Structure 1
Amino acid sequence: MASVSVRKETNTLYLDFRYMGKRCREQTSFKATIANKRKMEKLLTTIEAEIMAGTFRYVKHFPESRLAKNFSDNELELHQPEEWSERQNQVYVPTFKEFIHSWFEYQKIAWRKSHIANIESMINKHFLPYFGEMEINNITRNDILKFRSVLAKVPGRNGRTSITNNRINKIMDPLKRIFEDAAEEFNFITPYIRIKPLKIIKSDVQPFTIKEVNRLLESVRDDYKDYFLIRFFTGMRTGEVDGLKWRYVDFNKRIIKVRETIVGGEEDITKTDSSIRDIQMSQPVYDAFLRQKAHTARFGKFVFCNREGKALNHNNVTKRVWYPLLAKLRLEKRRPYQTRHTAATLWLAAGESPEWIAHQMGHSNTEMLFRVYSRYVPNLTRMDGSAMDKLLDHNLEIRYAAY
C-alpha cells in the first residue's frame, strides 16, 4: 500500500508506492511537518489515480529520478487501462544488480563520504561480479557461503596471500543488510541466516616505551618533530591529526577540538559521535603547537600541511618518513597508528583517570581501555594480591591495636 514516510536521518518525507510491479521510493526535501505530509498524501492520491487510469508518467512527477529512465520506454508502449492494471499487479523480482543500485542510492543519504566510497567499492569489486545477474530471491545461503570462500582467496595487501578475516567480515556485514531489505521488500525469507562472523585475531597493539618515544623524537626530521610529538602525546587518530585545522586549536583553553577528519584525501566528519571531543594539551603539546603555528599558519587552514597548504598525505608520510625512521633506529616495523596506542599506555602508566583517558581517546566508555591496554601497564593490574595484602595488613593492625 502506498504511503508517505519519514526518513529518520534527515527528518524529511519520502513517497513509497508500487508501479509496474516495482516498489518505488522517491525522496523529497520536505520536512516532516503536518502540512507537508498532507501535501504529499494529496500528491500520492493523484499518482495512484493516474496509475489506475493508465495515464501516469514517471518523468512527469519525478523528472530527476533515476527510476524515470527505467520506466520511460514501457510507459510509451502501454496506453489502455487494462494493460496498465495487468502490469501493475505483476510481482517483479529484480536481479541482485538491479536491486543493489536502487538500494545504494536510497541508503547513502545517511552515510559519511568515506563509508559511501567503501560500500561502493565493495559493490563493484565483490558483490556484482558474483551475485550481479542472479535473481535476488533465488540466491541461497549456500551461494553466500561460497561467496565468502571466494573472498578468502582474494590477495591481501603488502604481499599477503589473502585478505584478513576481519576484512572478510566487514565485506559480509553490508551484504546481510542488503538481503534483509530485499527480503522485506519482495516478501521472501532472507538467505543470510546462521552465518557467523569469522574469528578475528586480536589486534596487534605494540605501544612504544617512553625511552623509544624520546629516541624517535630526537632522530626524526626537524619538520616532523612536532607532528609526531603531538601524535604521541594526544592519542589522535591519523585522519584526525592530518585533518586538524587551526580553528580547532584553542590556545587560551589549551584544548584541541576534534571535529573533523580526513579519509581518502577528503574532509569528512569524525568516525563516531564519541570521537567528537576536546583533548587537553600537556605543556609539550602546547609548545609544539606554538612552534607549528609559526611554520604553517600562513599556508592556510591545516595545522600540518605541505607548501601548497594542502593536508599531509598519510601514505607519503608513512613511507618516506615513518618507516625509514624505524629502520634507522632498528625498531620493529609498526604502523604510525601505534602512536595512539602509546598515548593510552603512557597515560595509564602515569596514573591518569581511566574515564579521562577514554574521553581523550574518543572512546564511549572505559571497556576498550582496560581490555586492550591494561596489560601493558603492570602496576595498573598487578594480579598478585599485593594490594589486598596491604589493605588487610593495615586494617588488622588497627584492630589489634584496640586490644
Structure 2
Amino acid sequence: MASIRSRNNKLLFDFTYKGIRCREQTILVDNKLNRSRLNVILNNIEAEMRLGRFVFKKHFPSSPRCSYFAEIDEKTEDAKNNSVNTEEQKLVTNIPTFYEFTSEWLDENKIQWKLSHYKNVSMIFERYLIPHFGNQALDEITRPQIIKYRASISEPKRLGRVKKLGNDWINHVMTPLRGILNEAAIRYDFPTPFVNIKALKVEKTPIEPFSLAEVQLVLSKVRKDYKNYYTVRFFTGMRTAEIDGLKWKYVNFDRSEILIQETIVDGYVETPKTSASYRSIQLSQPVSDALRRQFKLTGQQEYVFCNNNGNPLDHRNITKRIWYPMLIEMNMKPRRPYQTRHTCATLWLAAGESPEWIAKQMGHSTTKMLFEVYSRYVPNNTRQDGSAFDLLIKQTQMDKTGDSVYE
C-alpha cells in the first residue's frame, strides 16, 4: 500500500508501480503540514495509476528510475495525446489544484504576516482546508460547496470534541479560504466562487472587570513573587504579549513611562498588535513602586518579568499555576487574565480620566471602544440617570429673582 514515510527526518514516497517498489526521496522535513501536502500528491498518483495515466518522469524527473520507466511513460503519453477529454482541456489552462496553489500563496503572503499569524494560517490549511479542497482544481470549487463546507465544520467530528466550533473560529477558517480563492480568480482569470458569503455573526463576549476592592484583595493574596507582575497588569492595561515581552530598556523611571515597542507571542519576539499599540504608558505610583521592586530582582536581566533562566514568562503556565488557583482560593469567579486590561480601563474612567488619554494608554486609535464597551461599567454617582444634567440646568438657567427661566 502506498504511503508517506520518513528517512533522516525527510519525507519520501513509498509505492509500487508495475510490480516495482519505488521509494522517492523529497527535500521536505517531516511535519504535519508537509505530510498533508504529500498525501494529496500521493492520492493523485494512485488515481492516475488506476486510470492508466501515470507518467513516472512527470512526478519524479530527477529519479534514477526514470530511464527504467521511460518506455512505459512514452506509451502512456501517446495514449493521453490521442484522447481529448474535458480533464485534458482543463490541464491546458494550467489551473493548479487547491493544494498546489496553497504553498505558493502562503509563501507570497508570509512577508506581510507576523510569524504567529503565518503559523496559525498554515495550521488552518493543514487541519481544515487542504483535506477538503486539496484535490480540486481551483476553478472547480463552487459557492454552494463553500457554504456547505462552512456548515459541516461546525459539527464535532474528532473523537473527544463534543462542542461545536464557535462562529468566531469558523470565520477565522473562512478568511484564508476567501483570500486564496480571490487571488487565484484574478491570477487564472475565472470568477471567484467566494461571492456574497458574509461572515457569521459573533456574539460579543461580555467583559468582567474587577472592582478596585477586588484588585486590592488579589494583590494582597497573590504569591509574593508575582505581586509586581499583577500590579503592573492591573494598573497599566498592558496586553499579555506586551507585559510578557517588556524589556528593561523600555522602562524609563526618570520620565515615569513604559514604551511598548515589542511583544512576545508563542516565544517569538514580534511587533505590537497595531500601529496605535506603539505607545508610551505613564506610570502611576503603584506601578512605579512595583517596577522599582522588580528591578532589584531582575534588573540585570533583559526582560522585566522572567524565569530563573532570564527567559520571558510562559503566560499559559502562569495562568494555570498562579492565576486560576489564586481566584479559586479567594472564592472569586474565574476570569481570564485579560480582564486585568479591562479592569484598568474601567478604573481610569471611574476616576474621571480623559477618554482620549485613556485610549492612548490602552493602545486604541480612537475612543470608540471606551464609549461602546467600558463606559457602562463606570459607577453612576448620582444613582439616577440624567439627574446631573438636571442639576446643571437648575444652576445655570435661573433669572435674577431665582426663578427658572423655563417656568
SS of aligned partner of 1:153: coil
Aligned to 2:82: none
SS of aligned partner of 1:397: coil
Please say if residues 236 and 344 of structure 2, whose CA atoms lie closer than 8 Å, have aligned partners that are also in contact.
Answer: yes
SS of aligned partner of 2:353: coil
Please say if residues 292 and 303 of structure 1, whose CA atoms lie closer than 8 Å, have aligned partners that are also in contact.
Answer: yes
Please say if residues 156 and 162 of structure 2, whose CA atoms lie closer than 8 Å, have aligned partners that are also in contact.
Answer: no
1:178 aligns with 2:180: yes
1:308 aligns with 2:302: no
Please say if residues 293 and 303 of structure 1, whose CA atoms lie closer than 8 Å, have aligned partners that are also in contact.
Answer: yes
Q: 1:376 to 1:323 in 2, by over 3 A?
A: same
Question: Distance between the aligned counterparts of 2:381 and 2:105, measured in 1?
Answer: 49
Aligned to 1:145: 147
Give the counterpart letter for 2:294 in structure 1: Q
Question: Distance between the aligned counterparts of 1:196 and 1:380, measured in 2?
Answer: 43
Question: Distance between the aligned counterparts of 1:255 and 1:372, measured in 2?
Answer: 26
Q: 1:70 to 1:275 in 2, by over 3 A?
A: farther
- The correspondence for 2:217, drawn from 212, 215, 218, is 215
- TM-score, scaled to structure 1: 0.75
Structure 1: runs of 5 or more not aligned? 1-68, 78-86
Aligned to 2:136: 134
Please say if residues 150 and 170 of structure 2, whose CA atoms lie closer than 8 Å, have aligned partners that are also in contact.
Answer: yes
Aligned to 2:344: 343
Larger Rg: 2
Give the counterpart letter for 2:339 in structure 1: Q
Question: Distance between the aligned counterparts of 1:185 and 1:71, measured in 2?
Answer: 27
Deviation at 1:383, TM superposition (A): 7.6
- The correspondence for 2:259, drawn from 239, 244, 257, is 257
Please say if residues 274 and 362 of structure 1, whose CA atoms lie closer than 8 Å, have aligned partners that are also in contact.
Answer: yes
Aligned to 1:29: none
Please say if residues 245 and 262 of structure 2, whose CA atoms lie closer than 8 Å, have aligned partners that are also in contact.
Answer: yes
Please say if residues 244 and 263 of structure 2, whose CA atoms lie closer than 8 Å, have aligned partners that are also in contact.
Answer: yes
Aligned to 1:97: 99
- TM-score, scaled to structure 2: 0.74
Give the counterpart letter for 1:386 in structure 2: S
Please say if residues 256 and 279 of structure 1, whose CA atoms lie closer than 8 Å, have aligned partners that are also in contact.
Answer: yes
Q: 1:243 to 1:381 in 2, by over 3 A?
A: farther
SS of aligned partner of 1:257: strand
Question: Distance between the aligned counterparts of 1:143 and 1:188, measured in 2?
Answer: 17
Aligned to 2:109: 107
Aligned to 1:230: 232
Please say if residues 116 and 265 of structure 2, whose CA atoms lie closer than 8 Å, have aligned partners that are also in contact.
Answer: yes
Q: 1:178 to 1:228 in 2, by over 3 A?
A: same
Aligned to 1:206: 208
Q: 1:168 to 1:400 in 2, by over 3 A?
A: farther
Give the counterpart letter for 2:218 in structure 1: L
Aligned to 1:370: 371
Please say if residues 375 and 381 of structure 1, whose CA atoms lie closer than 8 Å, have aligned partners that are also in contact.
Answer: no
Please say if residues 257 and 277 of structure 1, whose CA atoms lie closer than 8 Å, have aligned partners that are also in contact.
Answer: yes
Question: Distance between the aligned counterparts of 1:242 and 1:391, measured in 2?
Answer: 46
Deviation at 1:384, TM superposition (A): 2.1
Question: Distance between the aligned counterparts of 1:259 and 1:350, measured in 2?
Answer: 28
Alignment of 1:4-403 (within 5 A): 90-154=92-156, 161-298=163-300, 300-379=301-380, 384-398=385-399, 400-401=401-402
Q: How large is the RMSD of aligned CA atoms in angstroms?
A: 2.8
Question: Distance between the aligned counterparts of 1:92 and 1:400, measured in 2?
Answer: 90
Q: 1:164 to 1:127 in 2, by over 3 A?
A: same
Deviation at 1:180, TM superposition (A): 0.8
Please say if residues 140 and 191 of structure 1, whose CA atoms lie closer than 8 Å, have aligned partners that are also in contact.
Answer: yes
Deviation at 1:114, TM superposition (A): 1.1
Question: Distance between the aligned counterparts of 1:208 and 1:159, measured in 2?
Answer: 32
Q: 1:97 to 1:308 in 2, by over 3 A?
A: same
Give the counterpart letter for 1:335 in structure 2: R
Give the counterpart letter for 1:311 in structure 2: P
Equivalent residue pairs, number: 323
Deviation at 1:345, TM superposition (A): 0.3
Question: Distance between the aligned counterparts of 1:285 and 1:70, measured in 2?
Answer: 62
Question: Distance between the aligned counterparts of 2:96 and 2:388, measured in 1?
Answer: 65
SS of aligned partner of 1:365: coil
Taking only the aligned residue pairs, the percentage that are identical comes to 48
Deviation at 1:91, TM superposition (A): 2.0
Please say if residues 277 and 362 of structure 1, whose CA atoms lie closer than 8 Å, have aligned partners that are also in contact.
Answer: yes
SS of aligned partner of 2:173: helix
Aligned to 1:22: none
Give the counterpart letter for 1:316 in structure 2: N
Deviation at 1:346, TM superposition (A): 0.3
SS of aligned partner of 2:214: helix
Q: 1:226 to 1:176 in 2, by over 3 A?
A: same
Question: Distance between the aligned counterparts of 1:283 and 1:218, measured in 2?
Answer: 17
Please say if residues 97 and 132 of structure 1, whose CA atoms lie closer than 8 Å, have aligned partners that are also in contact.
Answer: yes
Q: 1:70 to 1:370 in 2, by over 3 A?
A: farther
Question: Distance between the aligned counterparts of 1:293 and 1:147, measured in 2?
Answer: 53
Deviation at 1:325, TM superposition (A): 0.3
Question: Distance between the aligned counterparts of 2:363 and 2:277, measured in 1?
Answer: 4
Deviation at 1:150, TM superposition (A): 2.4
Question: Distance between the aligned counterparts of 1:293 and 1:314, measured in 2?
Answer: 20
